[in-house]
Chain A
Amino acid sequence: MTDRQSMDIPILRLSDVLVTGLINELDDKTATVFADELTERIATERARGVLIDISRLEIIDSFVARTLTELSTMARLLGARVIVAGMRPPVAITLVELGLQLTGVETALNAEQGMAALGWHHAPRPPEGGTRREALG
């Protein structure tokens, strides 16, 4: 292990929104590095919103819960809104039994709804004369 793992978790920027997702094998160190890097990116990229997809996360224990809570708070202090999207139902059930409510963490059912909450909508119609999408309704 290198001591400054430059993360395996990609963070994409879509105009003023950062989009990222947590992987299943999330160890404590990676979670911490991720939180630091995301916070830095919010500042340098002047992001107004952050979408964190957690649909591949098979468990959330108290460490990950704390990381998400702190991340949301730090982002808010920097003027950005974080939405955690796609929590698996068994993870939600377990979190509640564990006594964790992720207070202060905004959530969405899935990434699409999370993006919509951050002001993104379905792909716009193609410019003038484009008809390709019409077929999709």
Chain B
Amino acid sequence: MSWTLIALLLLPLVGSLVVAFLRGNDRLAKTVALAFSLVELALAVLAWTAFDPGGERLQLTSSADWIPAFGVHLSFGVDGIALVMIALIAFLVPVVIGGSWADKLPEGRSAGGFFALLLAMQTGMVGVFAATDVFVFYVFFEAVLVPMYFLIGRFGGPNRQYAAMKFFLYSLLGGLIMLASVIGLYVVSADKIGQGTFDWATLVTVTREAPLSTQIWLFLGFFIAFAIKAPLVPLHTWLPDAGAEAPVGAGVLLVGILDKIGTFGFLRYCLPLFPAASKELAPLVLILAVVGILYGSLLAVGQSDMKRFVAYTSIAHFGFIALGIFAFSSQAGTGAVLYMVNHGISTGMLFLVVGMVMARGGSRLIEDYGGMAKLTPVLGGLFFVAGLSSLALPGTNSFVSEFLVLIGSYPNEPVYTILAAIGMVLAALYVLWLYQRVFQGPVRGNALVGLAGGPGAAVDPEKAPVADLNKRELAVLAPLVALILVLGFYPKPVLDVITPSVGATLSEVGVADPVAQEGK
């Protein structure tokens, strides 16, 4: 019985309630929220040190009876994959709280409510990754929708109602389809071992024996839910809307963490529970992945709205992750998990710097900006770093993971890998072109010129009213930059945690090379 995970789960919930009570005093509420998230981060570090990469598959476990009538246990535990995701959550939430510190909220909304919802969502997200009972996983999977729905719907951009509704309905539909499969698992286990159960470790041994047709139906139930979350083309259309309308902080968590539930679900549920179906349907997933890479990249090139731009780059990145998972090699699998972490960091940072640009210009449209690096050189530089990390330049974190995915996928799936590699070129195109339009050249665009003294006015960088990053913003971005560089040059600590779990997952699918591979 380990209390670390339970503390990780409960702490943000308590924090959320406390912050909700302090809504009257914005400053106090923010400070308390930040304090809770930092304690949570410390707890996550503790969990990381307590985890033994070479040990049991699931560690830090705890379990208690919940609903004996259905064989449901309130059980938690982590493998390496879940652990890095929980660590990523614990890292991103304080960053997001810092990043949203001075957000302009819609009229009549209190900052306390915003931060209380963020913390409530943290509990839900940790629960999704920590649950080792499929029923409990489902509960958290659905429960996490509610705070996100209110974050988008109450605090988002002008079209927030539409976006919040679309987000919720897509996810709920996926979740309900998954529910059919979850119940199916229960019935299959009741058939095989007499007593129905939702315990993941038991189910893994049971369902792999099920006939292929059963496996395929159950797999599809899970897969559709996860494909909506992750989002794979053609189930992606909610993400650009939700991402564009969500407040920046919620957007970071949306693409950084919530969407990873989908790819995490592929690894934790689809592959080990339905190995035969996974292999049978892998070509379908690979096609969707490659289509997603190319389609997401091309649409990112064409976006005129910066937040939608980030959302489409994410769709492309999720294609790479799905490719790595369904290529069935340990290198690609490890790369995919590392990609999940790196994407959280680099896209999270990209979202934050876009938010900082918007906070200065008051517009989401790319055409409203130009030559901004002259006014805000530091912001420009950090925007560039985030962009480079997003396009996977060697030396940044994403390069390691993208490289691992491609090199690991090539032996098994050469055609798809070659097609996916085109996405790398497109990534350079969309990132650099965006940077060029917003930051390079003479100062121009409605958002900036208006601020600088009217159309045609000569702009003197010294006297520009657009201020560069302040200390708070620097403090928010600094840890992200540090991680981008550290993981770019020395990803070993993370890979050490991931590799055994990925190996175990793949050996459950029956892949022959579970040999631990070192990155680079």
Tell whether A pairs with B.
no
